[in-house]
Amino acid sequence: MGSTGGDAMNRTASRATRRGAPGRRVAVAYAILAAAIAVIAVIGTALQPSYGSLPPEGGVSVLDLRSAPTPTGWSLDLGAVFAPGVPGSCLSFQSGALSPTLELVSATVPITSSTQENALCSPGTSEVEGRLAAIDPRTGHPQWLRSLGGDLNTTVSSLVWHRSAASGDIVVGVNGSRGAFLVDLDGRTGRLIDSAQVDSPDAAINFAVEGNLVLSAEPDAGGALEVYELRDARHLSKKIWSKQLTSSAQPQLLPDRLIVPLSPGTVSVDGRTGRETPWASDLTGIEGARVVDGGILGVTIPQGVGLGSFVELLDADGKSVWQVPALAVSSLESSRSCITMTSVTSKLTCIAPKTGDERWSVDFTGLTDGTPEGSTTDDIATIGPVKTGDTTLRIVTLDGATGATRATAVIPRGSDVVAESIATGFALDASTARGRSSLTAFDLSSGRTLWSISAGTIQHWGARFVEIDATGVAYELVDGRADPSHDMLGG
């Protein structure tokens, strides 16, 4: 019996050991549950979309239209603004950003082959092409209207404008019945600050603005030489500096000076006095030169057998900030986090803008794209290879810190990525058939197409998109899921 009792006790102890104590069973269960939650959390985090948190590019927080928008926001009759009494269908409208809260709009009268339509549109449109209107894209309300034809006592045939980021002014080149002019307007109020007649129509078309400086170029009759003239935007009648250069010369305009390649040497022209002084580098030895953050970026190609080329950044005085050995550079672009360099060796390299250090390099075939307005990341957008007959483009987004692919979106060929909100990219094709535009939206984290619409003329105004219909009425496009009765005007 002793033996029987002992066996019973052993079996009981064995079952207790297998089952474990009640407290231990609870602890093990909690451990398993915690591990399961951790796994789910990791998977959930990996599946969560990743969007940017940087300040929006250009200072514009673009509205996040996640469903196909409809023209149910504010509306504005542009025909009535530019040519009261003239059918809006007679006019074509162009726009550009003055600031995050002002869009500058101009109008033209396209020539048609229809005698009846020309007869309908001609009366009352003689002053249309000299008018500029600044419109608040948040409300659709015109803030000011300027008639340059009236100001200059001329019938305007064309105008070109550039904005000064330093002052907020607009410099407008005007060609008309009384000659060519440069005009400086206050971008906030439309007030005319100064104007001057220039020698040729080219000077009112071929000009650039940096800071308060205006540089114009007038080719001679043969096209081999060009006359360059430097002015202060607020004193346009006074030429600060003027010189005839070969057409191959490429002067670089900085906010306070002009860098001019001569033969031999390069000079810096003081933006206040026009005085020339020697520049520390030779601009004639730099290919693809462009202004980047107050300096000049380009590819330096030394003269001599066996000498390699460099991507080089020069400061405003012409002193080298950094240089990077480079082989067969095919493009240079500036983005938030990188100066991107592509080469014929099928590489895309990210160079740190301040130091010239190589951050990363990846295999690459295609084109780099600029940073869209509203972007909140330091990602780099690229366009994949395009073949004859392709009807779409692949937009591949690379992580600005590592070069790793973050997302791939497919958009219609002919489209440009013109804006980004925090979560959505917008690709606009304004050149589709029958005078219509297409707008496509895609998710910035996954690249998935969200929606695509075809409408009249679609334009990007500040934080919004606007459709201009065939009658010249502009409508704000708002999220299709939104209640049209709610206030879309304030943001």
> pLDDT (tens digit, 9 = 90+) per residue, 335-359?
888 999 998 889 999 999 999 999 9
Distance, CA of 136 to CA of 374 (rounded, Å): 17
More confident residue, 395 or 436: 395
pTM of the complete model? 0.84
**Among 314, 345, 340, 309, CA closest to 324:** 309
pLDDT band at 167 (very low <50, low <70, confident <90, very high): confident
210: tokens are 């940096």
**Among 461, 370, 455, 384, CA closest to 417:** 370
Cβ atoms of 214 and 208 closer than 8 Å: yes
pLDDT in tens, 369-427: 878 999 999 999 999 888 888 999 999 999 999 999 999 999 999 999 999 999 999 99
The counts of H helices and E strands in the chain are: 5, 36
Which amino acid would we find at residue 4? T
More confident residue, 21 or 144: 144
pLDDT in tens, 284-339: 989 999 999 899 999 987 766 556 789 999 999 999 999 999 888 888 999 888 99
**Among 190, 52, 111, 69, CA closest to 439:** 69
pLDDT band at 110 (very low <50, low <70, confident <90, very high): confident
Number of Cβ atoms within 10 Å of the Cβ of 416 = 17
Distance, CA of 23 to CA of 352 (rounded, Å): 58
Q: What is the pLDDT of residue 444?
A: 96
| CATH code, 285-369 | 2.40.10.480
Cβ atoms of 59 and 100 closer than 8 Å: yes
Question: What backbone phi and psi angles, to 5 degrees, belong to 87?
Answer: -55, 135
**Among 407, 482, 477, 485, CA closest to 448:** 407
pLDDT band at 114 (very low <50, low <70, confident <90, very high): low
Determine the average pLDDT of the residues in 112-118.
58
Strand partners, 461: 464
Rg (CA), the chain: 31
Strand partners, 437: 455
Distance, CA of 192 to CA of 169 (rounded, Å): 10
Distance, CA of 427 to CA of 410 (rounded, Å): 10
171: tokens are 């410099």
Alpha helix positions (H), 48-140: 78-82, 115-121
Distance, CA of 63 to CA of 61 (rounded, Å): 6
Burial of residue 359 (CB within 10 Å: 0-12, 13-18, 19+) is middle
Distance, CA of 364 to CA of 342 (rounded, Å): 8
More confident residue, 408 or 10: 408
Q: What is the pLDDT of residue 436?
A: 87
Q: What is the pLDDT of residue 117?
A: 60
**Among 466, 470, 361, CA closest to 419:** 466
Burial of residue 413 (CB within 10 Å: 0-12, 13-18, 19+) is exposed
Element (H, E) at 383: strand 380-383
pLDDT band at 19 (very low <50, low <70, confident <90, very high): very low
Cβ atoms of 131 and 124 closer than 8 Å: no
Element (H, E) at 277: strand 276-278
DSSP of 137-166: TTTTEEEEEEEHHHHHTS-EEEEEEEE-TT
CA distances for 201 relative to 102, 175, 179, 247, 361, angstroms: 28, 6, 7, 17, 46
Q: What share of the chain is helix, strand, coil (3-state, %, to 5)?
A: 15, 45, 40
Q: Which residue has the tokens 């690229």?
A: 382
Distance, CA of 146 to CA of 137 (rounded, Å): 18
Distance, CA of 111 to CA of 117 (rounded, Å): 9
List the chain domain ranges: 285-369
